[in-house]
Chains A and B, each alone.
Chain A
Amino acid sequence: MFLKKLATAVVVTSIASGAWAGCAFENGTELKTLTAGFDSWKAVTSAMAECGNVTSTLDQDFKDVQADAFAANPSLYQIGGVNNSAFSILVNAGTIRPLDDLVAKYGSHLKPSQLIKVNGQTMAIAMQVNNQHLMYREDVFKELRIPEPKTHADMVAAAAKIAKYTSLSVAATPIGGTYAAGWNLGEEFVNNYLGNGGEFFGEGNAPSINNATGVATLNTMKDLAAYMDPEYLVSESTYVQQQFQQGKIAMATLWATRAAAMDNAEESTVVGKVKMASAPMGSTRAAATNWWDGVVLAANMTDEQADAAFRVVMEGIDTEMVLANNDAAVWLVDGYVAGSAAQGALDTATNGAAPYPSSLAGMGAMHSALGNGVGAFLTGEKDAATALADIEAAYIIAATESGLM
């Protein structure tokens, strides 16, 4: 976690006033933004910066600091980028402001689906949807006459076949996975467990993952891991993206926001060779979770600041930005045309991928317990039932401490 913060180079862009060529107005209010660091946020924050006086912090671990930064009075950031999970935290803490009046004033062009509402009040403006889906090397699969994998079992079978052709650069580690212990590993379990139709909680936030579905999920993950780089427990999204770009892996379930990077000729050696497809099916639905990303404004700032901030946000997520960065995400903004890069994400949604259950109060503690606990099963330290029992035990301690149980 902490590491990513350092390694993902906290990109800070500060553009002096006057550089507002791409912006409809000249912003005179000092504004600060805190968002995640993937490509679409780079696009949005640089479009905001064109208005002048905007300083952006892009940090993949933004959620570690966001709640506290927004709770300060005045808030340390005026504009926040959130996903559905980070949004729940801020709504629960009451540190973001309702946007209805500002939407009426400056946001009449927004699509209704962009307005995130809680009890009728608009609390965030969504800009994109995101999920994880299968990416695979179409050239390799065609050459070896392997059909497109539909399930995890297909992926394992395909990997077994690819591994036999040792002359291929992808043969040593046909599968990639965001299995880095911590948040990533927890997310992988959540995806697969939901794909298998699992429920995380019973009555009163009590955990309910130690069951046949949980065991099946763990076994699937271990089967896939057998074909991954043995260092998979330290591999996060950027690492998997690079494995793809450097031609080291043939398939992986990866975030839709990483799709465009496969065809980025500056970094990638596999331009045009990576096909996007639906996330593999679990026993009930596609094994992935749907997320959305959007913008919130801090409650603790003056109305004048909020006014300027909202106008800057509107510039950041306008059609002009989308036209210039069409493939960086599955945008919700007017003007977006779904291209081939988005096909996997859309197919995954069609195959019934569940939304990430961020509204469940215990999910945070559960996600952390999973992220810390699944590794012990994958390394062989514990068997599946013990690992799940220990994860439940860790969850119960955390949930009791935070008052949920």
Chain B
Amino acid sequence: MNDHWHRLHPLSPFIRTMHIVAVAVVVAAQQIDEVFNAPFVALAFVGVGATIAASYGWASYHWTGFRATTAQIELKTGVLFRQHRRIPTDRIEAIDVARPLTARLFGLVELRVEVASGAGSEMRFQYLDQEDATALREYVLQLQPASTNAVRAPTPDLAADTSRVMLEVPASHVVMAYGIGPLGLVAVFALFFGLIGTVTTSAVTTTAAITSLPIMLAIAITTFRTVESYWGFRVSHDERGMVVRRGFLNELTQKVPVGRIQGIRMEEPFLWRAFGRARLSVDVAGYRNVNVNGTAETVVLAPVAARKAVHILLQDLIGTLDIDALEHVIVPKAARWRAPVASRFLSIAGNETWAIAREGAFRRRTDIVAHAKAQSIRVTQGPWQRKLQLATLHIDTAGNRIHFRALHRAAQDAYELAWLSRKLGHTSH
């Protein structure tokens, strides 16, 4: 990398507009009779279309470019609506490699540079070839401060991952964990309407069946996309930290900057617990990992894995601390009046570095936050809680989702823990 402007891959405009081309071809195919009736008009249409497409492609290729200097990365995009975005290198949170299906056909990849701020602030390089992508990624990573990248080893070839594999999730487990529930629901619905249909064929049931069809379809699509995104899930460990690789149609490689992790979440849904399975995710500061529904999400380190495997992953994040060996303190009896069911499943634990909160009857959730990562510590006490001498303690982090929340503690404990957490927070760094 030097101070020159670089271009994206020449095929990029074509790949980006491939779906439009596909639609055009389909539309044209439907007019096939007209084509035979007036071949010259059709030819003229194709000619004009091809010319427009070619000039757009050329303009897009010509006007899109990026430049990386030590201070900032710049990306110019757009033909009609030009955009020039600059990202100071010290604000870069992460750099991911994505391989959407269309790009993969041509052996290209997409680089995503994530920044610590709100929506749409990331930079997408669509598309680069392996070599350029590796060079740019390498360049950005070596600019990162030492705290986020302890050792600066050369980036391994994106295709051949030689690092130590920590976790591999078989596709069958993903299908079982995420597929069976929703698809079972759809099947039950279908069966229900089918049975009713055999008994009576009133207009009402037909309407109900038809109106529920889009819902079932939506469930099926969401399920498919979830399963697809966790397909071939693999967490490996290289010299820089953790690398997550996942996805079937859209292969995604995420590097997890361990030093920037704000919170860790382990989830154990009711049914999974029977099989000793858990899900592990982390919240990285300012990192916008957008899920299929478009909402900001956490970075998944294990979509579904045996508790033992999750604990091995956890060791990389929180050291030798065994969260099951700690004493999980439950809430006082008075909390039953405030939350009769939920309070039975509330507990907190911790040591001088970590605060751990557990809640959830059906879906057990364990959130782990470092005292030193607290952006603010709050104690809140509603009117009911005051009557019962209870209070809730929050440790807010810079993450999107994961914060420490200790609901309904004894009021005095909540205040004491707040001061304690604060003290531990500023002595440990």
Partners in one complex: no
